[in-house]
Amino acid sequence: MHGDQKQKTRRAHTELARERRLRGLSRKQVATIVGRSSQLIGAYERGDILPPLRLAMMLEILYRCQIAGLYLPLYRQLHEQVRAAEATVRARKRGPV
């Protein structure tokens, strides 16, 4: 992962730790609830790695918020990329005017 990408991922994951703290949970408690190690929960919170979809959904349920809300900066970045790619594909489909 490049430096700029890693920074964006790290910023995105700060929401995981914030949501955990808002609910008064420790990393160890979250790890027990979702069946992972506290070290792995820490890695997700630091943005070292992305959790798999199933675990992200479990965190969504635990923290009572949408996955996109947990990863808002990353979600916004991906939203822009997908919409730009979609616009390009649609423009090609229409062809020259």
SS (H, E, C) 32-64: HHHCCCHHHHHHHHHCCCCCCHHHHHHHHHHHC
Q: What is the pLDDT of residue 67?
A: 87
Residue 79's pLDDT band, with cuts at 50, 70 and 90, is very high
Q: Which amino acid is residue 87, in one-letter code?
A: A
User: Looking at residue 25, which CATH number applies to its domain?
Assistant: 1.10.260.40
If one compares 50 and 97, the residue with the highest pLDDT of the two is: 50
Q: Which domain holds residue 67?
A: 3-94
Q: Is the pLDDT of residue 64 over 80?
A: yes
What digits encode the pLDDT tens for the residues 43-59?
999 888 889 999 999 99
Report the domain count for the chain: 1
